[in-house]
Amino acid sequence: MIRLGAPEMSLAHDVKADSKEECWILLANTLALGNTDIATGLHQWNKWLMAMDRSWVYEDYKRMLQIQAHVTPTKRFVLKCPSHLWNLEFILKIFPDACVVWSHRNPVNSIASFCSLMGLGRRIFFGHIDAELVGEMMEARFLSGVQEIMEFRQRVGDERFYDINFETLIEDIPRAVMDIKKHFDLPHGKQADREVREYLQRPRGDKPGKHIYGPEQFGLDRDAIIDRFGDYIERFGIYVK
């Protein structure tokens, strides 16, 4: 259905019925998907959701992981979803031993990329994309998110977090994995390093084309974004070339 409504979605975020996916799907049972309003226009619902204590959302999320662990036993889950950024307080409450890796990217590129993805979702629901509206909403959403988490980390400390620039991550992924596990005192021997490198050498089946986007498509001003996100950029030494 997604491919029928927005064929370009395969370039932005290719999804198959049997492929690995971000773990936001586990939040769907509670209808607590934080960015759904961008695509659907349910803005009042999102304000109601974001104003409440969302611990119950991650209690349900935990049950979904327990079911998965029962089917496929594992000692540790590696989960990835940008929406978790707005829920870290509740994640660390329900999963007090969680290790949080936050990859930092130029906010201009991050916002434009997410605008492209959410814009396609909006077209599925409305038949068209109001690009400037999507850009305005995503910039405000990202700004509020990083401000809230920076304040949250000032209160709880940085022990459970590992920060890495996106460019550093993709430049040497095996080294990044090793550094992350070392930071959290997780085992990582030669065999684990070999498995990471072998995995990265396998041909990828999720690269059908190039995802092209830019801030100008969504009425965003590059210099203005860099200025508004100045504290965040400085705090984490983010590359803004």
pLDDT in tens, 174-207: 999 999 999 999 999 899 999 999 989 987 665 5
Q: How far apart are CA 201 and CA 211, in angstroms?
A: 22
Q: Which residues contact 90 (CB under 8 A, 6 or more apart)?
A: 53, 54, 55, 57, 58
Where do the structural domains in the chain lie, given as residue ranges?
17-98, 100-241
Phi, psi of 53 (to 5 degrees): -75, 115
Pull the structure tokens for residue 200. Answer: 């990265």
DSSP, collapsed to helix, strand or coil, labels residue 135 as helix
Q: Which of 61, 43, 8, 38 is nearest to 125 (CA)?
A: 38
- Please give the pLDDT value at position 19: 72
Pull the structure tokens for residue 148. Answer: 């809230």
3 and 88 Cβ atoms separated by less than 8 Å: no
- Please give the pLDDT value at position 43: 84
57 and 30 Cβ atoms separated by less than 8 Å: yes
pLDDT in tens, 33-60: 877 787 777 888 888 988 999 999 999 9
What CATH fold (topology level) applies to the domain 100-241? Rossmann fold (3.40.50)
- Please give the pLDDT value at position 224: 95
- Please give the pLDDT value at position 171: 93
Across-strand partners of 162?
101
Give the predicted TM-score (pTM) of the model.
0.85
- Please give the pLDDT value at position 225: 96
205 and 10 Cβ atoms separated by less than 8 Å: no
Across-strand partners of 164?
103
Pull the structure tokens for residue 203. Answer: 């041909």
Across-strand partners of 155?
none
- Please give the pLDDT value at position 8: 65
pLDDT < 50: residue spans in the chain: none
| Residue percentage of the chain with pLDDT more than 70 | 90
- Please give the pLDDT value at position 92: 95
Pull the structure tokens for residue 85. Answer: 């950024």
Q: How far is C-alpha 226 from the chain's CA centre? A: 20
